[in-house]
Amino acid sequence: MSNTRFDEGRLMQVLVSPIVSEKATMVAEKTNAVTFKVLQDATKPEIKAAVELLFNVQVKAVSVVNTKGKTKRFGRSVGRRDHVRKAYVTLQPGQELNLSGEAA
């Protein structure tokens, strides 16, 4: 594994949360990929190392999408939601990652 190059404390913080949505579920079923919200400055190798370390699975590829935060109105003032960086982590064939919390 290539975890030796990265600080383990940093890897614990790279993955912010799993994204559970219709699109994420469709992608998971079609391509064996899991979607995570990650830190804004996280790199692909860091994300790969973090997923392999935390979930003990083999990662095939990592795709990253930066989404700009929408501008929203709160009464009189105009605000903006945070920018989001999403990582689509494709797992090796035969690998599985269970985020639902149910015991298999």
Question: Which pTM value belongs to this model?
Answer: 0.81
- CATH 3.40.50.20 holds for 3-91: no
Q: 13 - beta bridge partners?
A: none
For the cut 70, the answer to whether the pLDDT of residue 102 exceeds it is no
Structure letter (DSSP) for residue 21: S
Query: Could you read off the pLDDT of 6-35 as tens digits, one per residue?
Result: 788 888 888 999 999 999 999 888 998 999
Sign of CA dihedral 24, 28, 30, 31: positive
- Contact criterion met (CB below 8 Å) for 9 and 59: no
Helices (H), the chain: 8-14, 22-31, 44-55
Pairwise CA distance, residues 43 & 21, whole Å: 23
Query: Could you read off the pLDDT of 64-100 as tens digits, one per residue?
Result: 999 999 999 988 999 999 999 999 999 988 888 766 5
